[in-house]
Structure formats: C-alpha cells, structure tokens
Amino acid sequence: MPNRFSGKVVVVTGGAAGLGRAFALAFAREGAHLVLVDIDEAGMRETTRLVEQAGGTASSHRCDLSREDEIGSAADAILAERDHVDVLINNAGLHAGQIARDFFDVGLEKWQHYFAVNCFAPALLAEKLRSGLANAKGVIINQSSMASYVPATAYGITKATLNAFTFAMANQYAGDGVRAVAIAPGLMATEAAQEGVEDANWERLKSMQQVGRQGTPEDIANLGVFLASDEGSFINNQVYLCDGGNSLRGWRG
C-alpha cells in the first residue's frame, strides 16, 4: 500500500543519522513530509537530500534535546509550519559508552543528562506538540531498547524509564485520540550499537541471535511505519520488542 502517509507530517528526533534516518526514509517512501529534529545540522542536510532523492520532502530544526527551551522553540517552529503532527518518533537517545558497562562512577551530572535526553525530552516534546498531535489523532512512537528488559546499565535504566513514560503517555493522551507505543530494538548492525562494545563481546552477542542475521535500521523503521499506519490503529500502550527472537535479556552485560 504505497503512499499510506501522503499529506501527513512525521516528526523524527535524531533524524541526522542511523535509525532516525531510516525512519525518515521509510516514511518518505510512503508520501509523508518529514520534520527532522537533531543537534547535527550537517547530518540533517544529508538526510534531507536522501529524503528528496526518495521523492519525499523534509524540513529540519536544530535542537539540543537536553534543553527545555530549545525543545519548546523547535515545537513552536514545527506548529507554525503545520497545524497537525500525525506521527512523533522520539528516536533520539544517547549512551555515551555506557551501553555495556556498570553504572558506578557515572555521577549526577551525567545521570541527569542521560535522563534529560532519553526520558524527559520525549515527554516534553510530545507535550509541546500536543495540539498538533490532537488535531491529527496521531501516534507517538518512543525508541526504547531490549536493554530495558534487564536494566542493569545506565542506558538500560533510562530505556526502562522510557517504557514507563510510554504507558503514561498512552493514558494521558487517550482523551486527545492520540496513541503511544514504543519499539525496543535488539542487536542492530549500526555504528552506535557497536560503540563501547569490545569486538569479542560483539561476536558473542551476534551468536545469541535466533534469526541468522543482525537487525538493520530498516527492520525497526518498517515496524514503525506499521504501528503508525491505519493497519496498526488498534495498537496502543505497548512496547514492541524487535530483536530477532533473542531471549537472553542480559545480553548487554
């Protein structure tokens, strides 16, 4: 069903690269207008180029998602351009090398930064885009992680918290006709996923996959398109694990 999102607006945070870029391209191929939100302006320009190459359109807004004032400014700019937001994909996140490490000596400042970007920014951006989401009877998709199922690291703890935010969002926005779901990717063949993981541990993790390959950004983006589509319109208040059948939840250790 091509062009399922023709005339619709899809906001993607972290849209400058990786999974965010994959989301942008997947929705562009379905006819959506993409609104990219990221701190990396050069990366957003490249994503915009690729979106246009795929036949789509895009606009972008530079935003440091650890700052509430910048989140507010980006949301105001988005709503000034469009009165509806059909899909908000809270994809941006960070792990700063803590994805496979214990959380000792992280320190309060880094903890606060993790939570600001990974947990509070999705909630704040959704709140500030509430009128646009309500006008469209839209959907919020939060980017979680399989690490949230056994949150033994700083990264996993923030993603478990984001799962809790997802459930809260589904309840809080129900009166607006807005759905909220999350996707928890498994082991992804991305640069960000491999950062901070030693080569030997990476090979061990790959061997845990029940499906005989690693996940790709497109696997996650395709799930996002389905969840946001009319075909997924009865799905709400859920976190979807997309991990190739990996049942060993302590894999980041």
Binned at pLDDT 50, 70 and 90, residue 214 comes out as confident
The candidate with the shortest Cα–Cα distance to 178, out of 125, 235, 217, 139, is 139
The candidate with the shortest Cα–Cα distance to 93, out of 10, 201, 18, 186, is 18
DSSP 215-231: B-HHHHHHHHHHHHSGG
- What CATH number belongs to 9-242? 3.40.50.720
Active site residues: 155
User: What is the end-to-end Cα distance of the chain in Å, rounded?
Assistant: 41
pLDDT tens digits, one per residue of 5-59: 999 999 999 999 999 999 999 999 999 999 999 999 999 999 999 999 998 999 9
The residue extents of the domains of the chain are 9-242
Rounded to 5 degrees, what angle do the CA atoms 201, 183, 87 make? 140
DSSP 163-187: HHHHHHHHHHTGGGT-EEEEEEE-S
24 to each of 56, 90, 127, how far by Cα in Å? 9, 12, 22
Binned at pLDDT 50, 70 and 90, residue 250 comes out as very low
